[in-house]
Amino acid sequence: MLLPSLLRTVVPLLAGWAITVLSGLGLVADSATISGGITVAVAAIYYLIFRVVERASEKLGGPAWVRAAAGLLLGYAKPPKYESTDDVASLVRASRS
């Protein structure tokens, strides 16, 4: 369960970095902090767009290929499933498996 979650975090960050670097958004960022902020913002927008498409396709009964494509662009075709629990010991055991 950890791999899908990790992929769906890292892939949008890498996509945000690549889009920022390759697009030449016309922004001159003299500071690494500003560059990092732009990259994070682009990655967040990227994630939000494809997550909304994935969720809308699921809720509205859209074609399965749209959901799969959006998921793949997030790094993993299916969103991770998390169990709802208040039992901390159970969560720790699950995270170790």
Per the model's pLDDT, the better-predicted residue between 82 and 45 turns out to be: 45
pLDDT at 20 over 70: yes
Cβ atoms 41, 17 nearer than 8 A: no
pLDDT at 96 over 60: yes
Write the pLDDT tens digit of every residue in 28-70.
556 776 777 777 888 888 888 988 898 899 899 889 999 899 9
Each domain of the chain, given as residue ranges in start order, spans 2-96
Amino acid in position 71:
G
What are the CB-based long-range contacts (under 8 Å, 24+) for 6-11? 7/74, 7/75, 7/76, 8/74, 8/75, 8/76, 8/79, 8/80, 9/75, 10/75, 11/73, 11/74, 11/75, 11/76
* Other Cβ atoms within 10 Å of 96 Cβ, number: 7
Per the model's pLDDT, the better-predicted residue between 33 and 94 turns out to be: 94
Position 17 scores a pLDDT of: 77
Q: What percent of the chain has pLDDT over 70?
A: 81
b/e map of 64-89 (b: 16 or more CB within 10 Å)?
eeebebbbebbbeeebeeeeeeeeee
Position 38 scores a pLDDT of: 78
